[in-house]
Amino acid sequence: MSLDQSAQNQTPQPLPGLHVAVIMDGNGRWAQNRGWPRLVGHRKGAERVRELVNACPDLGIRYLTLYAFSTENWKRSTEEIMGLMSLFARYIKREAGRMNSEGVRMRVIGDRSRLAPKLRALFDWIETETEANDRMFLTVAINYGGRDEIRRAVQAVARDVASGALTPDAVSDTLLSGYLDTSALPDPDLVVRTSGETRVSNFLLWQAAYSEYVFTPVLWPDFSPETMRLILDAYRQRERRFGGVTP
């Protein structure tokens, strides 16, 4: 195949390394608006996750990080919590094959110690199963909170200082980033929150220091790859200066 032909066959990827993080909000309201149980909204939300992951290479998203269960979500009913945990397990079992054929590497971030041993084993399994993939990186935050993550990282740093493996002066931003759950990921370029709420809700507090934010009224079960495409179009119009000035 000539160079010209191979260029024509490639999907254009204007921002190949883009990291987009999403606070998937509004599942409960979507279901309640229809008089349905909240879990129906979460189920529909899982379908939207599947569609978005599949669309990421076309959208130019290499890293997708999804907030699926926060450290605060334990306040919900046992039925809803158990339903969500089953959805996470089902998603992994159903999508493992496709993730491998599409080159998706999946990781789970958050504190796993409170999760059921079977679910933890499934997370370990999918991380190993997909570890050789590098076309796209899917990270799912489960029992995740930004403050909790920073606290755990600081505790680990303190342990290393106490053991003499580190000096206090060696603790830089870069070093601390390496102790976070997201150590293998670049910082997010863009954080999207659905459902019209305009809060950060403890998501990627350290990592999103310079991220752009987009808040959309769309409820997560109505969020399609096309919605993301429009958001990315708007994102590309923005100018990111990282605290500097326009040259």
Nearest Cα residue to 88 out of 26, 35, 43, 36: 43
Q: What is the nearest approach in angstroms of ligand FPP to the Cβ of residue 32? A: 7
Element holding 27 (H helix, E strand): helix 27-32
Q: Which is nearer to ligand FPP, 16 or 196 (CB)?
A: 196
Among 9, 33, 54, 73, the active-site one is 73
Q: What is the nearest approach in angstroms of ligand FPP to the Cβ of residue 92? A: 8
Q: Which is nearer to ligand FPP, 98 or 236 (CB)?
A: 98
Tell how far CA 30 is from the center of its chain.
21
Among 4, 9, 25, 124, the active-site one is 25
Contacts with 43 (C-beta within 8 Å, 6 or more apart), sequence order = 87
Q: Which is nearer to ligand FPP, 24 or 157 (CB)?
A: 24
Distance CA 94, CA 144 (A): 23
Active site annotation includes 73: yes
Distance CA 24, CA 198 (A): 12
Place of tokens 């879990």: 39
Q: Which is nearer to ligand FPP, 153 or 214 (CB)?
A: 214
Place of tokens 């326009």: 246
Q: What is the nearest approach in angstroms of ligand FPP to the Cβ of residue 58? A: 20
Active site annotation includes 9: no
Chain positions contacting ligand FPP, by CB under 6 A: 24-29, 42, 45-46, 49, 66, 68-69, 73, 84, 87-88, 91, 140, 195, 220
Nearest position to ligand FPP, beta carbon: 28
Q: What is the nearest approach in angstroms of ligand FPP to the Cβ of residue 190? A: 18
Report the b/e string of 99-129 with b at 16+ CB within 10 A: bbebebbbbbbbbbeebeeebeebbeebeeb
Hey, which residues are catalytic here?
25, 73
